[in-house]
Structure 1
């Protein structure tokens, strides 16, 4: 069984359809589950899968403004609940929060990585 990785990236914003298409094609090719918070600031990218580290390198090369790799780690199980090779695009932080709230562990992880919550138990 291959290793599963989770990657969280924050950028200034995500508006370029050309870059989003590149990200989508990479997710499909590398069998990653991806959630994008697009349009206005901030741009958020969350990926899970065995190819997530390769996917992250493709994103890095797109040279997004204020690119920040917030977290890159190996995880025991995928929690994103997005089919492998698929990308979900959301326009607001509220929509992103609602999607992540389907899994309490993932929501807490995201809040800590974003700096919204302390890592205290």
Structure 2
């Protein structure tokens, strides 16, 4: 069984439906759980968790998002993101994104540290 990774990517924004469809297909094929913050208002956020996240991130890089920044990448013991493996949840505001992550204190704290909102 491949190791489970948790990845956080920040971009300028995510508006291209074609790119988002590519990310969704890759998540399905690689059985990654993915949370996206999309829309014209910066930033664009991608949070992925699972065994295929390294390959999923290669797909992201090929899409050449503006201001791509890998904010965090860690190997973890278990999946905690409340998204079914192979599925993508798309949200349109940072407030919604944070509220979704806040459901799990471990995930929420990991995200806050990687974003620089708090020290960890």
If the TM-score is normalised by the length of the shorter chain, which range does it land in? over 0.9
Q: Deviations over 1:36-63 (max 9, x none)?
A: 0001100000000100000001001100
Q: Which runs of 4+ in 1 moved over 6 A?
A: none
> What residue number does 1:86 align with?
87
Give the TM-score of the pair, scaled to structure 1.
0.96
Gaps of 5+ in 1: none
Q: Distance in 2 between matches of 1:103 and 1:4?
A: 17
Give me the whole-angstrom Cα distance separating, in 2, the residues matched to 1:116 and 1:62: 28
Instruction: Find out whether 1:106 has 2:107 as its counterpart.
Output: yes
Structure 2, unpaired ranges of 5+: none
Aligned partners of 1:105, 1:73: CA distance in 2, in Å? Answer: 13
Match of 1:77 in 2: 78
Cα RMSD (Å) of the superposition?
0.7
Matching residue of 1:31 = 31
Bigger mean CA deviation after superposition, 27-36 or 1-10: 1-10
User: How far has the Cα of 1:97 moved from its partner?
Assistant: 0.9
Partner Cα distance (2:11, 2:114) in 1: 14
Q: TM-score, normalised by structure 2?
A: 0.97
- The aligned residue for residue 16 of structure 2 is 16
